Structure 1
């Protein structure tokens, strides 16, 4: 029997986004988190624990991290550089794959470089 990985979407910004699209289902979530504009970011501690535990829990050769939001680029480049460093640290011989769903508004050359390498 072929082993399968557990597919998980990581939403480090929760529902926070830099656009206000009328069709977005996340707009309905705003009332559930009234203080979300001030306290929405995944902490470094949570990131480190998640990366370590997600990799360790996968009994497969390739571990997938699917980054989504809201808008994940609002976390900033240092957050994702840290995520990649943690993935490399805990990979233990497993291949790491990152996918990224974004509206693209904040993508510049620096973002493109990290996305290409991740």
Structure 2
């Protein structure tokens, strides 16, 4: 969860930082619209393209974790990474509710045929 928090903070604050110069002199509503679009865009680039190219994001890199395909430990495919990103956008905010109402299982575990592995286990 720590690497997900770091990745979320990067997307959130980075998105607002990207939106600031685009909305100079514009209304608050315009700024918030641009900020949401920038947060989602940066999140997409960070989680989808980062996972495809480097098998990691900044948060996962700091904790020496990689994202790999569950079947052969290869790089994630584009649509796998997109589905995982969309699942994360819906699953992470719902975790507290799922913990109260769910059966204790984690529907995000190995989502979309991808999983997290420690870097040192990947070298073997």
**Pair member with larger Rg:** 2
TM-score normalised according to structure 1 size: 0.29
TM-score normalised according to structure 2 size: 0.28
